[in-house]
Structure 1
């Protein structure tokens, strides 16, 4: 435990030095992420990662589902404050992260979907961040489960990691807050869609039953 605390101190020192040589953003405009009680991991850094991330990027990325202390701290170290200047689009960034599958398509259908055989630490951070979202009750969790039902667990993880990375790049690039409404439909809307499909199926069955009588 003491060694972990020592590492946290060293990391914080580096972040302080880094922040001192760049044009950092004003903390007075930071709107804190509303944490759930006891939501911090026991392995989370002891210093305020949320504050440092805002100083470097000018937007609170903690509002993106899956991106919490450890993941954001790693992204700070891997990407720096100006990474958005190195990519023209969010898709270019996702491709660099190795989160864009090489799809083999024939007749409009995907025959196979595999990631290129190369490692990218940033992409791995996003994939690890996406894994717990299979149990998330929000829009991102709904998206993960839809992808899993459609293509399987591995593809769902990559697709969700891709979405997180794309949102992450976009809000840092444009300095806009995360909007869950743009991720997908919520649980209530999903239930309404399922009910409409079931009612449509029931109506068709009733018609067939009437025709058979």
Structure 2
């Protein structure tokens, strides 16, 4: 069975390939770079699940392949769950990690350390060519620290310390992070249901 993961992020494709190799060894996973390019619908939904379904439905419609897509972000309790679905463009410019992190730190400047709780959230969806759809969720709870640490990862990883750890997500190895991450949890659940 050939399945599309609607992303150009090679790291994300590798992560899901590893998970599928254990849970669904008969599945061949390909990313967007392996299929003919198609116009991608903007992420306009108000939920992670809604955006994941948009991308997965697009993939099926344009390729005929069962398609997996995810949407994820950081939900900060002191900011009423924001940046949430706006995580990648929190500071206005798409995928400007440095600006997003600076804005988040500024917004949390007066928030005491014990109230800087947050969670990375992921919704992963699969849509099959016959119209069936499934969405699963994963979370990684933790807290936002006052300054970046670590060089691994991306996005808010240098500011986020997962519960039970004293290192940021950007200080963990890829294997350590994948074992506890929101995306890893969602992808493992999805793989078990494929």
- Give the TM-score of the pair, scaled to structure 1: 0.26
> Which structure's residues are more often strand, by fraction?
2
Pair member with larger Rg: 1
More helix by share: 1
For normalisation by structure 2, the TM-score amounts to 0.28
